Amino acid sequence: MYTIIEHIEYLLTSHDCVVIPGWGALVAQYSDSHYDPAAGRIERPRRKLGFNASVDHNDGLLAQSLVRREGIPYNEAIRFIGQSVSSYRQQLSTGNEVSMGRLGYFHSSDGRHIEFTPFYHEQSNDAYYGLRCVRLRPLAEEAARAEAAAAASAALKQNAGIRPQWNRRVTRIAASIAVILCLTVLLTTPIIVNRNQQDYASLNLPSVTKPQQQVLDVTPATKVPSQSEPEATVEEPVEPASPLLLDEGGSCYLVVASLTSAKEVNEFKRMHRDLAASMQVLRVGKYHYLYVARSYDAKHLYSLVPLLPKGYQGWVKTS
């Protein structure tokens, strides 16, 4: 089943304005490359999407894209766009968000005005893909870094010239002390000669005696803490803080329940008050998905699954 979202994503790669008849227009806004003195870098050029609800006439661009790719008549393409817009308005009226795939999402704060929140990584940024900001260092900072590097190199060379001579001197002193100690032990140790022993060829084996019973002192030894060593303390276990699941924006959702009616959604929120404040509803067809976090990065959402309260089984859904 095709949707108008994939056609809008494709058209924005080569057009700066795509009108959704009866809804509004997605407009690309450019900002040139410039130097930011506070950050000390050259900012790359950017292309950010905005929304203009007053431009909702049919210019034929979106309808012609449906005709070419889906192979349907022009009147059928206009009717399909109208049905999609009606579905979007119904989602906003119930407090839900309308996802625009990888571009962003629509929401309504007061039930009347439509607002669009673009994602940082837009698919329509192909012209600037791969460009990065350039960090620039002032000349004074570069000169200080070069001077510090030269001083460190000179210190290393000076130490390299002194260290071998000092090592040789210490080695000679240590060897002299070792020789003196060996000669002292050798010359001062007496040699005892037992001249009363008659049988020099016999073996003097030690006599075997009955082992004596020994009483072991089983008094537990207590360690006296020294003045320099602080006494060990037992830390009380700290309960981990409950995760704060924020709405980071994105086309991936951390879902905790999949329901089929608004009545079931209200009943589920009533029964699970610990996550009711963080739950949002995503409607896809006849299903109501209750999610507690969203992001463009699915791996980030998978890392939040173990942080859910006990008893919840979450999974990641991509719109």
Separation between Cα atoms, residue 49 and residue 121, nearest integer Å: 10
Backbone φ and ψ for 205, nearest 5 degrees, come out as -85, 145
Antiparallel, parallel or unpaired: β 46-52 and 98-99: unpaired
Question: Per-residue pLDDT tens for 9-38?
Answer: 999 988 999 999 999 999 988 888 888 888
Q: Which amino acid is at 74?
A: Y
List the structure tokens of 122.
């837009």
> What is the value of pTM for the model shown?
0.43
Q: Is residue 203 part of a domain?
A: no
Backbone angles phi, psi at 250, to 5 degrees: 150, 175
**121 secondary structure, DSSP code:** S
Q: How far is CA 78 from CA 51, 65, 73, 98, 226, in A?
A: 21, 11, 9, 20, 86
Of 224, 226, 287, nearest to 255 by C-alpha is 287
Q: Do 81 and 2 form a contact (C-beta atoms < 8 A)?
A: no
Cβ atoms of residues 249 and 115 within 8 Å: no
Instruction: Judge contact between 278 and 245, C-beta under 8 A.
Output: yes
Q: How far is CA 286 from CA 41, 85, 98, 106, in A?
A: 49, 17, 15, 20
- Kindly state the percentage of the chain with pLDDT values over 90: 21
Q: In the chain, which residues have pLDDT < 50? A: 122-124, 197-209, 214-244
Q: Choose the final residue of a domain: 105, 135, 165.
A: 135
pLDDT attached to residue 223:
44
Domain-located, residue 230? no
Residue ending a domain, among 119, 135, 151, is: 135
Whole-number Cα distances in Å, 216 to 213, 219, 220, 222: 10, 9, 12, 17
Question: For residues 266 and 272, what is the distance between their CA atoms, to the nearest angstrom?
Answer: 10
Domain boundary, last residue among 135, 156, 177: 135
**Structure-token pair, residue 105:** 């999402």
Please give the Cα distance from 72 to 91 (Å, whole number): 26
Count of structural domains within the chain: 2
Per-residue pLDDT at 162: 56
pLDDT given at position 24 = 94
Is residue 292 included in any domain, yes or no?
Answer: yes
Q: Is 263 helix (H, G, I), strand (E, B) or coil?
A: helix
Buried b (16+ CB within 10 A) or exposed e, 183-203: eeeeeeeeeeeeeeeeeeeee
* Helix and strand counts by DSSP (H, E) for the chain: 6, 13
Nearest to 53 by CA among 121, 14, 127, 108: 108
Q: What is the pLDDT of residues 121-133, one digit of tens each?
A: 544 455 676 777 8
Query: 199 in a domain, yes or no?
Result: no
Query: What sign for the dihedral angle of Cα 307, 312, 316, 319?
Result: negative
Q: Would you give the distance in Å from CA 89 to the centre of its chain?
A: 35
Q: Does 49 reside within a domain?
A: yes
Distance in angstroms (rounded) separating the CA atoms of residues 315 and 301: 9
Residue 32 within any structural domain of the chain: yes
> Is residue 205 situated within a structural domain?
no
Are residues 49 and 9 in contact, defined by beta-carbon separation less than 8 angstroms?
no
Residue 256, domain extent = 252-318
User: What's the residue count for the chain?
Assistant: 319
